[in-house]
Amino acid sequence: MNILVILRMIPDSAGELQLAEDGRSIDREWLDFQLNDFDDHALEEAILLKEAGGAKVTAVAVGEGANRVLQMAAARGADEVVALQSEEDAMISSREIAASIAAMARAKSADLVLCGVQSSEDVFGQLAPYVGALLDWPHVSGTNRIVANGAVLRVTQERGAGVAVTYELATPAVLGVQTASKAPRYVSGSKLREASKTPIGRAMPESSGFERSAEIITLRLPVQGGSGENLGGNAETVADRLVTILAAKGLARN
Amino acid sequence: MKFIACTEGHSSKIEAFSLEMIAAARSLAQAGDEVVAFFVGRDAEGASASFGAADRLIVARATRSDVIPAETYALLLRDVITAESPGLVLVPYSANGLDVAADIATRTGWPLVSYVNEIKRRGESLTVVAQMYGGKILAECEVPLPAVLMINPGAFAEAMPGPIAAVSVQTIDAEPALTGGKVKMVAIDVPDYADVDLTTAERIVCVGRGIGDEASIDLARNLATMLGAEIAGSRPVVDNGWLPKLRQVGKSGQKVKPKLYLALGVSGAPEHLEGMSQADLIIAVNTDPKAPIFNVAHYGATCDLFDLVANLSDRLRAGSGR
Ligand SMILES: Cc1cc2nc3c(=O)[nH]c(=O)nc-3n(C[C@H](O)[C@H](O)[C@H](O)COP(=O)(O)OP(=O)(O)OC[C@H]3O[C@@H](n4cnc5c(N)ncnc54)[C@H](O)[C@@H]3O)c2cc1C
């Protein structure tokens, strides 16, 4: 089985996000970029499938720091790594890159395309259904377990309230991974160093093919706070206040 | 202009967000416009009994399966779009909607905006407000019509449930599409709530990724015990195996409404807020003052969660004489 797994580098949302001067993008100058968490799970699922039944895993990374994350992917077990060129200092729109991913899936004779169910920059839509529809392959998003039995996949999808639904489908397919069957593994420094010699292929982007798309006019920060009260940052005074608040509401004790 | 409001229901329960999609369409409809609700599933009766706020209802009736693969839903929706030529298709941000929205946008070539909270009509286009970066940034977008929007649950107040006139209901058979589909449902696992049911818990202490590691969960668990609360976690905490799945709060976890919700190191992503923003009292502790959890918290603190847990535990222990 040939697996193509997509790794998107996105700004660290835990850090501070500031708006750029044009008001339509975020200031990328000082941002840390990291692998989209869900894509990390997709990579893990790809490697687990390879370990379980044999597969060739091609990792495709896009965005700032792609080379670094591709070395990590190689260290974790990816057989081939490719950096997809993207516009510098721009957000990674899954709608924009879907055609390039679909083209690579064809070029690499992929049986399975895996990516994270979502990224924080996919405001114009999610990668798995775009790529699936472009290729006219079945797609399922929000998976937390994928088992391959030859060309037949058993895929478990998370629904609300802890309900899980299992589907069966044949490859070729596109899956949007929510959670890998096992938590993503760590790689040792020595493995990383070894993998740093893995040659990184390059791919040029294709045009998205969409004639009409929505456009961002402005970005803004949400109005902070609402009606909530800020208790500040001193743990002792916060604890004192919370004891009072909880006691007043009859919530302090069993 | 026609609006198609995509609705869902599973196991003879109509999803509340279905009525929100109809309400969103209604809020945009002008004289001469039509709001068409689209439903796929077994509970055609439930749909007819609930979607009276729509002008028309198209039901693709399934007879066998409770869960409709998104592939089938999208296929049936495509036929409806071809027949109706709507100006706007509203899809809920649900497990199903995640696969349907971009699929439809690709097949029609239409624009798509996801995670939408607000919509305004401006002639032949819309301006919408959508969430990005885990709710930390709002994007105002211009959307030429026709288009597809994926709407956040909770963004629009539900339309009044009520029956729709039988003459306004058109029923089609979903079975051929289900039988011919490439994606087959083979099992549904419903969790056993015997161990813990967060939906009925009165007090919840929820830990997020900020807790750092599995060992530290015990600190929060001790605090929860002192408060008579259940321990819960955000998705990453459960994904890491630090807490069982039944203790996950949010979109793919439980929707809770306790009297007390203490969130420790939870950023407050939209998918988490969906599960807990209705709690009576929300107290959030997060070192990042810009964390979106503070937008729903009644009390927020920006101290380190470990310092807070230690200090609060001390005081509760002293107060109870233990
Ligand atoms: C389809 C779908 C369904 C989903 N369903 C769910 C769901 O059911 N439930 C859910 O929770 N998520 C769900 N998610 C995931 C969601 O998008 C977020 O990724 C997740 O909620 C983030 O969890 P978190 O807040 O714990 O982690 P993070 O976003 O990483 O936040 C950790 C926070 O801890 C703070 N912090 C770190 N250290 C400390 C410290 N020492 N003291 C105080 N604060 C600290 C940081 O400032 C940060 O804000 C879903 C996503 C998708 C796509």
3-state SS string for chain A: CEEEEEEEEEECCCCCCCECCCCCCECCCCCCEEECHHHHHHHHHHHHHHHHHCCEEEEEEECCCHHHHHHHHHHHCCCEEEEECCCCCCCCCHHHHHHHHHHHHHHCCCCEEEEECCCCCCCCCCHHHHHHHHHCCCEEEEEEEEEEECCEEEEEEECHHHCEEEEEEECCEEEEECCCCCCCCCCCHHHHHHHCCCCEEEECCCCCCCCCCCEEEEEECCCCCCCCEECCCCHHHHHHHHHHHHHHCCCCCC
Per-residue pLDDT reduced to its tens digit, B68-110: 999 999 999 999 999 999 999 999 999 999 999 999 999 999 9
CATH 3.40.50.1220 fits B198-319, yes or no: yes
A2-203 fold: Rossmann fold (3.40.50)
Residues of chain B with Cβ-Cβ distance to A223 below 8 Å are 295
What pairing do the DSSP bridges indicate for beta strands A56-62 and B88-92?
Answer: unpaired
Q: Quote the ligand 1 centre to B271 CA distance (angstroms).
A: 9
Q: Suggest the residue from A101, A124, A154 to mutate for an interface test with chain B (most B CBs closer than 10 A).
A: A124
In the structure, what pLDDT confidence band is assigned to residue A225 with cuts at 50, 70 and 90? low
Please give, rounded to a whole number of angstroms, the shortest distance from the CA of A39 to a CA of chain B: 14
Strand partners, B254: B249
Nearest alpha carbon to residue B102 among B162, B94, B111: B111
In the structure, what pLDDT confidence band is assigned to residue A229 with cuts at 50, 70 and 90? very high
Residues of chain B with Cβ-Cβ distance to A249 below 8 Å are 259-260, 281
In the structure, what pLDDT confidence band is assigned to residue A16 with cuts at 50, 70 and 90? confident
> Domain map of chain A by residue range?
2-203, 224-254
pLDDT in the model for residue A222: 87
What average pLDDT score do residues A39-58 get? 97
Q: Is the pLDDT of residue A230 over 70?
A: yes
In the structure, what pLDDT confidence band is assigned to residue A253 with cuts at 50, 70 and 90? low
Within chain B, which residues score under 70 in pLDDT? 321-322
Note whether B2-180 and B198-319 share their fold: yes
Q: Suggest the residue from B257, B283, B296 to mutate for an interface test with chain A (most A CBs closer than 10 A).
A: B283
pLDDT in the model for residue B89: 98
Rg of the Cα atoms in chain B: 22
Residue type (1 letter), A106: R
Q: Give the global pTM.
A: 0.95
Please give, rounded to a whole number of angstroms, the shortest distance from the CA of A109 to a CA of chain B: 20
Please give, rounded to a whole number of angstroms, the shortest distance from the CA of A200 to a CA of chain B: 29
Give the pocket of ligand 1 (CB within 6 Å).
A 14, 117-118, 142, 178; B 134, 208-210, 234-236, 248-253, 265-267, 269, 271-272, 275, 285-288, 291, 304-306
- Domain B2-180 top-level CATH class: alpha beta
What pairing do the DSSP bridges indicate for beta strands B299-301 and B260-264?
Answer: unpaired
Q: Which atom of ligand 1 is nearest to the CA of B291?
A: 49
> Domain map of chain B by residue range?
2-180, 198-319
